[in-house]
């Protein structure tokens, strides 16, 4: 997602009076702005995606702790909604048949044949997709194909 698309999402959330979505998008925009100020450059699409992924991880960890504590259901529901909103901001993840086809192609290109090559294959998949793929499913599939 580009910074301009994120700005458009912010405006849409304002118009819809969706406070939770607005809060999350503002949080992402703040992270992007900090990056631009700190590094004195415009944020790229990869930067924005990386910020969103980092916020998903942080919010997900907080959600896990909230679920374990089981003392505030409202907070747990809010955190769940926040994670869903953040995930909706990311590009569609590669999965299913498209992922299997890419795995087969990557294994063939690298000439991978043993489990020792799994790291190289996963690295190539990450580079090819920008990290937007179902990693556990890919690891199972790669593991099954390499002996």
pLDDT tens digit sequence for 42-78: 998 888 988 998 999 999 999 999 999 888 899 999 9
Give CATH for domain 3-89.
Answer: 1.10.1510.10
Q: Which CATH number fits domain 96-145: 1.10.357.10, 1.10.10.410, 3.40.50.1970, 2.40.10.170?
A: 1.10.10.410
For position 46, what pLDDT does the model report? 84
Binned at pLDDT 50, 70 and 90, residue 81 comes out as very high
Per-residue pLDDT for 92 more than 90?
no
Q: Would you state the pLDDT for residue 30?
A: 94
Q: Could you tell me which of 2, 5, 52, 4 has the C-alpha nearest to residue 28?
A: 52
In the chain, where the domains are located: 3-89, 96-145
pLDDT digits (tens, 9 = 90+) for 102-126: 999 999 898 888 888 899 999 999 8
User: What's phi and psi for 26, nearest 5 deg?
Assistant: -65, -35
8 Å CB contact between 131 and 99: no
Across the range 27-37, mean pLDDT stands at 93
Q: CA-CA distance, 105 to 94, in Å (whole number)?
A: 14
Dihedral pair phi/psi, residue 111, rounded to 5°: 65, 30
Q: Which residue has better confidence, 21 or 92?
A: 21
Q: Is 131 exposed, middle or buried (0-12, 13-18, 19+ CB in 10 A)?
A: middle
């Amino acid at each position: 997602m580009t910074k301009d698309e994120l700005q458009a999402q912010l405006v849409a959330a304002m118009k819809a009076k969706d406070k939770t979505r607005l809060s999350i998008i503002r949080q992402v925009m703040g992270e992007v702005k900090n990056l631009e100020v700190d590094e004195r450059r415009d944020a790229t699409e990869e930067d924005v995606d990386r910020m969103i992924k980092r916020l998903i991880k942080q919010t997900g960890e907080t959600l896990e702790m909230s679920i374990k504590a089981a003392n505030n259901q409202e907070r747990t529901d809010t955190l769940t909604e926040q994670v869903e909103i953040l995930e909706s901001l990311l590009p569609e993840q590669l999965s299913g048949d498209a992922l299997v086809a890419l795995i087969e192609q990557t294994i063939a290109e690298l000439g991978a044949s043993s489990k020792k090559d799994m790291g190289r294959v996963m690295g190539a998949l990450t580079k090819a997709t920008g990290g937007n793929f179902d990693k556990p499913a890919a690891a199972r599939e790669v593991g099954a194909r390499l002996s």
